[in-house]
Amino acid sequence: MNYFVTGATGFIGRHLVEELVKREGTVYVLVREGSRGKIDALVQRLGVEEGRIVGVSGDLSEAGLGVKDFSEQIDHLFHLAAVYDIQADEGSAVRANVEGTRHVVEFANSHDVGRFHHTSSIAVAGSYKGVFGEDMFDEDQQLPHHYHRTKYESEQIVREGVKAKTLVFRPGIVLGHSETGEMDKIDGPYYFFKLLQKLRSALPEWFPVAGPEGGNTTMVPVDFVARAMDHIAHLPDEDLPGDTFHLVDPEPMSVGQALNTFARAAHAPQFAMRIDQNLINVVPKGVRAGLNAIPTVKKIRNQIYHDLGIPPEAMEVRDFRCTFDARDTQRALAGTAIAVPALDSYATALWDYWERNMDPDLFRDRSLKTAIKAKKVLITGASSGIGLATAVKIGEAGGEVLLVSRTREKLEAVAEQVEQAGGTAHVHPADLSSLEDIERLAEELLAVHGGVDVLINNAGRSIRRSVARSYDRFHDFERTMALNYFGALKLILALLPGMRERKTGHIINVSSIGVQTNTPRFSAYVASKSALDAFSRCVAPECVADNVKFTTIYMPLVRTPMIAPTDMYKAFPTLTPDEAAQMLCDAMIDKPKR
């Protein structure tokens, strides 16, 4: 028995080959000349003897697959090679799914294969409403996405062009292995795992949240797909109940139910209130389209998708409007142990594998060096305390820092430390309580450096005095507002336009934990910090589309010269300037809101 497989090193292909090598015969796999290492890896993975899996040089993009001098009889040809990525551009999808299938059909017809097994997809149903049977294909259904269209066209090529006995397999949404959880890429429901992870981090497991009910979705583990294809492909003609098989869950669930299953596996809050699509459909389609077309709405929606790692295309095709009948598949598998396991029986394995091996955050370069590479970081209050410690850390990461404070001599000493640590430093003395001097500083910064990429508003003045002792000290409030709010605000307004124009920027405001706790005797200080906090929260949404981020750090008590005059602070637990500086470095890396 000889097998020929395209897409053998793909996700479904690897598991199918694993089933085929359990039978007698040779498995020939199509491989590009430069990718033979994948075949070696597959042989090693499966642990089969030499000669059971043989690579055949060729290319899906060439006529007849570009295969030369292949004369072996092919009993079964499995065509799995395709672009399954919903984010792939239409040109790539057409070349692989449509033209590639045409070339496979040419190859099969010229080599007189015994059976042709085509891996299609339930995507051929498009937006069909009702029950979509295994004997259905051209039902005038709409095909809203190019992925639907290319899968439909490729199946049509097979139906019309293959001379041999042909079986078509239409898998549902293919998940990882039901026992190991193994998966090779983020796709389908995996796009929503980051959302569940963030909900778990933000809320207790028992907290009810609202979410979509959605339409039907049918998900199956890859091991079921491979075993079902292998079994059905080898049935004699008289035992085949049909020629097309839906490899789907015969008991589909809604999107909301599936999300809750994964939420339980992740120990995340569940969607207790699920909104039925019919409620949304009450709003006229034109009104919904108009709302979604509003630039602000689109920008906010796309930013949310981006932060969660959800491609907009995934939201467009997240569910189906039909139910897939799989009676022929059930009849073909009758009497075997091959069946779709309940999602909740293996959801934990899928989640665990994703969190340990596929979570995008595992692959992020969370180094300060990368975060500030080729960026100019401006630090106010850089001559001592938190500012000095932050500047040195940036220097150790090889960064470029612009130092701002009152005294040039102190700044030059800091600059020397930064450069000794391996960074680049520029000194810009300025009185940040003087609006005129800030204006001069801003003009100087723009003229010398062309702009700032990261602005850290660290300079501040603190006054500890009860309101009873402040009735005749209005100047205390003026002084704190001048530096803590108006000074920082003036600098933001001067540098923000350049950031928005360059479509990149990060503004970090060193606030105080007092803003959150309303600490007595600090009314002047907390009010000034609260003003800057409120300004930033209001302005941040306006700058989302320009990729300018705002971060507020509610800093606890730090052992700096600012608190030195107050003896009582010596009895309080405090952070060191180095610990506080690390918070600023983490903010430059992660860019959180607060």
What are the residue numbers of the active site?
525
Task: Find the angle CA(340)-CA(342)-CA(346) to the nearest 5 degrees.
Answer: 100
Distance CA 189, CA 255 (A): 9
Distance CA 427, CA 413 (A): 10
Distance CA 509, CA 531 (A): 11
CB atoms within 10 A of CB 157: 20
Distance CA 403, CA 409 (A): 12
Retrieve residue 79's tokens.
């065509």
For residue 125, the 8-state DSSP code is G
Terminal Cα distance for the chain, rounded: 64
Distance CA 462, CA 526 (A): 9
The one-letter code for the residue type at 500 is R
Kindly calculate the radius of gyration of the chain based on its CA atoms and give it in whole angstroms. Answer: 31
Task: Name the pairing type of β-strands 165-171 and 271-275.
Answer: unpaired
For residue 80, the 8-state DSSP code is -
Q: What SS3 state is found at 368? A: helix
Distance CA 334, CA 4 (A): 27
Reference 415, options 400, 428, 426; nearest CA is 426
Taking the CA atoms of 237, 243, 248 and 252 in sequence, report the sign of the dihedral they define: negative
Query: How far from 404 is each of 390, 489, 533, CA to CA, in Å?
Result: 13, 15, 21
Q: What SS3 state is found at 296? A: helix
Cβ 264 vs Cβ 270: under 8 Å: yes
Q: Is 547 left (phi over 0), alpha (psi -120 to 50) or beta?
A: left
Which residue do the tokens 């590639």 mark?
Answer: 100
Cβ 380 vs Cβ 387: under 8 Å: yes
The partner residues of 400 in beta bridges, in order of sequence, read 376, 424
Q: What SS3 state is found at 359? A: coil
Cβ 323 vs Cβ 151: under 8 Å: no
Distance CA 119, CA 155 (A): 8
Cβ 207 vs Cβ 252: under 8 Å: no
Enclosing H/E stretch for 392 = helix 385-396
Q: Is 281 exposed, middle or buried (0-12, 13-18, 19+ CB in 10 A)?
A: exposed
Beta-strand (E) ranges in 58-110?
Answer: 76-79
Distance CA 407, CA 385 (A): 14
Reference 414, options 372, 446, 366, 458; nearest CA is 458
Which residue do the tokens 């430390």 mark?
Answer: 417
